Structure 1
Amino acid sequence: MSEITIRTLGTDEWETYREVRLNALEESPEAFAASATQEKNYDEDFWRARVERSRRLVAEDGESIVGVVSVGDRSTEENRVGELFGLWVTPRLRGQGVAWKLVQAGVDQAQQEAYKFLIYWVGTDNGRAVAFASSFGFRPTDSRRPMKGASEETQDEDEMAMVYPLGDDPAAVPSSVLDQRHS
């Protein structure tokens, strides 16, 4: 493995985002609410709008994109809140620090955009993801929601909000940050 670099896609790189997103959906369908079949049919305008509404960060190994994560805005009137979502790393590089670099870049992006908190929804039954997020510094909360895009196999599963405080007081997480209307 060469040096992994992380960069934010520009709004004109919608085709690059489309390619990595479809790769992620095809390789790890159980990890996402959408399916590759659904998203393959979306047109250029859809993909352009998607790239413009959230920051899309990609991990590159030389010329190859090997991972992706997104940072979106879930702010309320009271708080600037970001949401980390869509984390995926190609299987051959899992467990080698790529996800860590992507999440760190997402945290850095959220801090640059003056968010006070970063929320990451994780499946309560996904022990590996919960352990990863916890080791990074995300804290579990009592906030739960049904798994997005649940199939018959996952219809009874929940996701929990994990929070990463970005402000001066890491203990201060107001309940409005976890308001379900912003999930």
Structure 2
Amino acid sequence: MDIRLLDASDAKKYWDLRLEALEQNPEAFATSYEEAMSRENPVEGVAKNLSKEGSFTFGAFHNNDLIGVVTLMQEAPLKLRHKANIFAMYVSPKMRGLGVGNEILLEAINHAKSMKTIENLNLTVVTTNESAKKLYSKLGFKVFGTEKRALIINDIYYDEEYRVLYLKQ
């Protein structure tokens, strides 16, 4: 397995994996598959996002296939620059349970630590996603709140936990 920072040349592979994620785990993302499919020039949009300042998307590759991703995004406002968010984490079902999520998330955490200004890493996770919650806990993310009914999909509500990892004590 190879882990690296993605760039604009990875946009098509990222988009394909993103669509898989939205189909496989709709409860884990605010964007729906239908919304994603209605975007104009989505691969171009992904390419721009992969080149955006303050945003870092790490990908895990197996046999040149993108099998997992996670995005680290630093807050832009001056008063919030000590914080960054973990977004859009996903590992393809065929590669789950092999440590891929752990490896890409560690890559994002280590990158955040190298940025010096980042002190807090925040993320949200659907409360029913036990494997993700276990991983986040193992890596030190602590729950600091829960949003009831954060998402609704087909008339079913999903709660989300808010978690933080303090990089500096």
User: Quick check: TM above 0.5?
Assistant: yes
Task: Tell whether the 8 Å contact from 1:17 to 1:56 is kept in structure 2 after alignment.
Answer: no
The code of the aligned residue for 1:72 comes to M
* Number of aligned positions between the proteins: 163
Comparing 39-48 with 109-118, greater Cα deviation is found at 39-48
Secondary structure at the aligned position of 1:13 is classed as helix
What is the aligned partner in structure 2 of residue 136 from structure 1?
Answer: 139
1:83 shift after superposition: 0.7
Task: Tell whether the 8 Å contact from 1:17 to 1:51 is kept in structure 2 after alignment.
Answer: no
Q: TM-score, normalised by structure 2?
A: 0.83
The code of the aligned residue for 2:130 comes to G
Indicate yes or no: 2:48 matched with 1:49: yes
Task: Tell whether the 8 Å contact from 1:84 to 1:118 is kept in structure 2 after alignment.
Answer: yes
Comparing 128-137 with 44-53, greater Cα deviation is found at 44-53
Secondary structure at the aligned position of 2:156 is classed as coil
Separation (CA, whole Å) in 2 of partners of 1:29 and 1:143: 19
1:29 shift after superposition: 2.3
**CA-atom RMSD in angstroms:** 2.2
What is the aligned partner in structure 1 of residue 103 from structure 2?
Answer: 101
Q: Which has the higher strand share?
A: 2
Indicate yes or no: 2:66 matched with 1:81: no
Cα distance change, pair 102–154 in 1 and its aligned pair in 2 (3 A)? farther
Where structure 2 has 5 or more consecutive residues not aligned to the other structure, the ranges are none
**Deviant stretches of 4+, over 4 Å:** none
Where structure 1 has 5 or more consecutive residues not aligned to the other structure, the ranges are 170-183
2:156 to 154, 157, 161: 154
What is the aligned partner in structure 2 of residue 124 from structure 1?
Answer: 127
Cα distance change, pair 41–164 in 1 and its aligned pair in 2 (3 A)? same
Task: Tell whether the 8 Å contact from 2:146 to 2:159 is kept in structure 1 after alignment.
Answer: no
Secondary structure at the aligned position of 2:31 is classed as coil
